[in-house]
Amino acid sequence: MASESFIIKTPCSSANIGPGFDVIGLALSMYLELHVTIDRSKEGNSSAPLNCRVTYEGQGEESGDISLDPEVNLITRVALYVLRCHDQRSFPAETRVHIKNPIPLGRGLGSSGAAVVAGVLLGKECGGLHHLTPERLFDYCLMIERHPDNVGAALFGGFVGTYLKPLTPEDVARTEIPLSEVLPAPQGGLDTGVKPPAPPLGIGHHIKFPWAPEIKAVAIIPEFEVPTAKAREVLPAQYPRTDVTFNLQRIALLPVALGQSPPDPELIYLAMQDKLHQPYRQTLIPGLTQIVESMTPATQPGLLGVCLSGAGPTILALATSNFDEIAERIMAVFKEQGIVCNWKVLEPAEGTQVVRAAT
């Protein structure tokens, strides 16, 4: 075949859903798309770096935040990691990747998780690596995005619980390899020939939870970024036992509460509380504590519960009705802090799909 085309479609995600820090993820209906064409007639005479031309439209396009260099762009860099683990040093000649990205960057809606998942799929498809199962692809994602919740949701879709298998000491050492060795710094198109460390087998696992069809996700998205790495730095290394017990009690409720139809607002509100990450992230997200503490199903008809989405600053309100009133009320609190937002109603989404044009 001289040329082939396909689309990789990956959902955004909201991780944690209150108490499920680094465990729970929800795939939502806003999608990163890669429109990929491989023109094999250019084999041996492509002038593109690493045989790959990247174009981009969407979030961060105007500010030029997203690099078009295939060694720098997160998606193509991850694809190169997968290819190089399989002794393929570059993309097949000539690969064009057009990225359409509506997922806001650095807002807690899993833009980097979606980019990593899409990148791993891009590596698989470009390399013809058909033996890589979704479970194995999850291992590759975890070598890069080292918490499983948002990549698990973006890859498998729906409302998921994710967990890591106990590994042998040798395999643990491999998962702790610095990210700089997994995704080495750009070499300016030079191939050092160093094979990156492949992931140990079976690092990550997931389980799908039911989701009541009445429940929608209202995302209130502030117009400022909080890089996930920075939002993890503010978390303590140790927690009081009472706070851990508080979260354990709620996480035991959460998957059951969100699967029951009709939903029980009091139960869901209780099940979405957290003491392990949200209180500490207030320092980066003015208004967060006030929003989480002031909104209840009793004061706000239609509301089920409210939490920080991922590492923030987006707020996720789960609700069955009155979406605009709920969003307006949350935006009013942010406005008092001088923060402007937009908002969207999202629904649970399927996981990553690869769609090929009919031949």
Cβ atoms within 10 Å, residue 355? 11
* Cα(69)–Cα(89) distance, integer angstroms: 16
Per-residue x/- track, 120-149, ligand LJ64HWYM (CB under 6 A): ---------------------------x-x
Residue with smaller CB distance to ligand ADP, 16 or 90:
16
CA angle 24, 29, 33 (to 5 degrees): 105
Closest approach of ligand LJ64HWYM to the CB of residue 340, in Å: 20
Residue with smaller CB distance to ligand LJ64HWYM, 51 or 175:
175
The reply to whether 316 sits near ligand LJ64HWYM by the rule CB under 6 A is: no
Looking at residue 40, the DSSP 8-state letter turns out to be: G
* Cα(68)–Cα(54) distance, integer angstroms: 5
Contact present, 212 and 261 (Cβ < 8 Å): yes
Residue with smaller CB distance to ligand ADP, 46 or 314:
314
Q: Three-state DSSP class for 96?
A: strand
Residue with smaller CB distance to ligand ADP, 51 or 309:
309
Residue with smaller CB distance to ligand ADP, 81 or 269:
81
Of the residues 311, 327, 331, 341, which one makes contact with ligand LJ64HWYM according to CB under 6 A = 311
* Two tokens, residue 313: 């600053």
Residue with tokens 């390899």, as numbered in its chain: 177
The reply to whether 287 sits near ligand LJ64HWYM by the rule CB under 6 A is: no
Residue with tokens 């260099």, as numbered in its chain: 69
Decide which of ligand ADP, ligand LJ64HWYM, none touches 162; Cβ closer than 5 to 8 Å per partner kind. none
CB under 6 A: which stretch of 123-131, 205-213, 217-225, 228-236 binds ligand LJ64HWYM? 228-236
CA nearest to 15, candidates 331, 277, 323: 277
Q: Three-state DSSP class for 346?
A: strand
* Cα(315)–Cα(163) distance, integer angstroms: 24
* Ordered DSSP codes for 246-287: HHHHHHHHHHHHHH-SS--HHHHHHHT--SSSHHHHTTTSTT
Residue ranges in 264-283 that form contacts with ligand LJ64HWYM under rule CB under 6 A: 277
Decide which of ligand LJ64HWYM, ligand ADP, none touches 22; Cβ closer than 5 to 8 Å per partner kind. ligand LJ64HWYM
Dmax over CA atoms of the chain, in Å, equals 67
Decide which of ligand ADP, ligand LJ64HWYM, none touches 75; Cβ closer than 5 to 8 Å per partner kind. ligand ADP
User: Applying CB under 6 A, which residues contact ligand LJ64HWYM?
Assistant: 15-16, 21-22, 108-110, 112-113, 147, 149-150, 228, 231-232, 277, 310-311
